[in-house]
A and B are shown apart, each in its own frame.
Chain A
Amino acid sequence: MRKRPLLAVLLLLACIFVGCGSPAAPEPEPQKPAVYGTLYTYVGTVSTLNPFQSSESAGTTILDMCSLGLYEYFPNATRDGFSLEGQLAEGDPVPLNDEQTLWEIKIRKNAKWENGDPITVDDVIYSLQQVMDPVLLTRRASQVASEFITIKGAVEYYQQGNTNSVPWESVGIKKVDDYTLRIETTGFATVQDVKTQFSTKYTHLVHKPTWESCFSADRTTNSYGTPNGGFMSCGPFILKEWVEGSQFVFERNPDYVLADQISLEKAIFYQITDSNTALEMFLSGNLDYVSVGAAAIEQYEDDPRLITTLPESVTSICVNIGNSKNNNALGNQNFRKALFYATDRESIAKLVKGQPATWIVASAILSSVESGVPFRQLPEAQAYLPANNGFDPELARQYFQKALDELGLDKVTVTMIYSETSTNTKAVTEFLHKSWPEVLGPKFELKIEAVSSSMASSLRKGWKDNPDSYELAWGGWEVSLTDVANGFKVYTSWFNNKNEPYFNEYYDDLWQKANQSERGKTDNDYRLDLCFEMEQILIDEALTIPVYETPGRAMVSDRIELPLGGYKAGFGWGWMWAKVVE
Chain B
Amino acid sequence: MNVVVTGLGTTSPLGGDVASTWEGALAGRSGVRTLDNDWAELYGVPVTFAGQLAVRPEEVLSRPETKRMDPSAQMALVAAREAWADAGLPEVEPERLGSVVSSGIGGVWTLLTAWDTVKERGASRVLPLTVPMLMPNSPTAYISLEFKARAGAHAPVSACASGAEAIGMGFEMIQSGRADVVICGGTEAAIHPLPISAFAAMQALSKRNDDPAGASRPYDVSRDGFVLGEGAGVVILESEEYALARGARIHARLLGLGMTGDAHHIAAPEPNGAGQTRAMELALERAGLSTADVVHVNAHATSTPVGDMIEARGIRALLGAHADQVLLSATKSMTGHLLGGAGALESVFTIKALETRTAPPTINVTEPDPELEVDLVRDTPRALPEGQIAAINNSFGFGGHNVALVFGTA
Decide whether A and B assemble into one complex.
Answer: no
Interface residues of B (CB under 8 A from A): none
Which A residues contact B (CB, under 8 angstroms)?
Answer: none
